[in-house]
Amino acid sequence: MIQVRFMAPSTHHTMGGLVVDLDRHVLNTSGKVIPGLYAAGEVTGGIHAGNRLGANAVAEILVSGRIAGVSAAAKK
């Protein structure tokens, strides 16, 4: 049996994104914290620079999500 699959370029992650500090606060264009706004995962552009392998961001999502959650709960 022969199977055919069509392939085409696609976007599988973001390049660039929101700027955050170590507690995952979102920063405005002046570099100041936007109170109550946190971001995690690939919406922040990630830590993988210009390229990354698929599913390689899973650890980043888990770790940055936990940091953002702890920061938000502590209202840091």
Tell me the per-residue pLDDT of 5-14, one tens digit each, with 9 for 90 and over: 888 776 666 6
Task: Measure the CA–CA gap between 20 and 11, rounded to whole angstroms.
Answer: 23
Tell me the per-residue pLDDT of 40-50, one tens digit each, with 9 for 90 and over: 987 887 676 56
What are the residue boundaries of the structural domains of the chain, listed by start? 25-74
Task: Measure the CA–CA gap between 21 and 42, rounded to whole angstroms.
Answer: 14
Q: What is the CA radius of gyration of the chain?
A: 16
Q: Can you give the pTM of this predicted structure?
A: 0.70
**C-alpha 43: how far from chain center:** 4
Q: Which of 49, 42, 36 is nearest to 12 (CA)?
A: 42
